[in-house]
Amino acid sequence: MSVHKASTLQSGAGADDDSAQASFGRYLQTIRIERDIRLEQVAEETRIATATLNAIEDEDFNRLPPDVFLRGFLRAYAKTVGADPDEAVRRYDACLRRLQRSTAADQEPQKARTGLRGTLVAALLLLAGLVAATLVGYRQWGQDPYAPSPAPPAVNADSAAAPPPAMATPSPSEAVKRPQIPAVPKYVLTVSAQEDSWIKVSIDQGTPSEHTLKAGGQIRLEGQNGFNLLIGNAGGIRLNLDGKPVQVPGKRGEVVNLHLP
């Protein structure tokens, strides 16, 4: 696996993190195009899916992987095209802060409208309660306390002797629900440790989980779409996907990112 030397392309000294230079996707894409490097070549050298690389260049946060993996992907991308990995991560952090501030500003009017709506609803409920209490009091005040109580309705002897109707017996299909059959996993990944190592795993773009493996240890993972892996000791881990071995790029003690399949 070839790795290009990182260039010294950075933003000017004292530049604001939240300025227009905070675009991490265009920063990496510009350097890649200037050096005539195809996106497929970056995917092959970094083992990062082409769809994820496209999401990075488009800065599409809805399609980007979890933050713990994305930072490693940005550094791997930058090294491959000869960009500055620290600059790429710095730009990503600045872009993330701008997005969070924009989202918070959009939510403030919504919170104000929600609070006003809640106040109006509470006032209407209070008014309805007062009206109901007034009607009840008026009816009780206008009722004659000495008026005779109405006679109870006559009971038919035949209907009184008749037994109550029998309750319908539920059918076997209604009484016993069929157990749900769990979905069969599409991919099965086995991680075996030849040496002590740690690994972070995100299954189907879900919340990452961290595992510490001793030499000889093994874990089995199942997923429907794939796995994002952050391996702490590339030379000490063996991977097997659906019964086939997967080569782990990197040396002993090196931290690497993988996206499988």
Q: Which pLDDT does position 154 carry in this prediction?
A: 58
pLDDT tens figures, 142-186: 554 445 555 555 555 555 455 555 555 555 555 456 666 666 788
Strand partners, 219: 191
Q: What percent of the chain has pLDDT over 70?
A: 69
Q: Can you list the domains of the chain with their CATH numbers?
A: 20-98 (1.10.260.40), 187-260 (2.60.40)
pLDDT digits (tens, 9 = 90+) for 174-228: 545 666 666 678 899 999 999 998 899 999 888 989 999 999 999 999 999 888 8
**Per-residue pLDDT at 19:** 46
Give the pLDDT score at 37: 97
pLDDT of amino acid 88: 95
Cis peptide before 261 (omega within 30 of 0): yes
What Rg do the C-alpha atoms of the chain give, in angstroms?
33
- Tens digits of residue pLDDT in 32-73: 999 999 999 999 999 999 999 999 999 999 999 999 999 999
Burial class (CB in 10 A: 0-12, 13-18, 19+), 42: buried
The mean pLDDT value for 120-141 works out to 72
The whole-number pLDDT of residue 4 equals 41
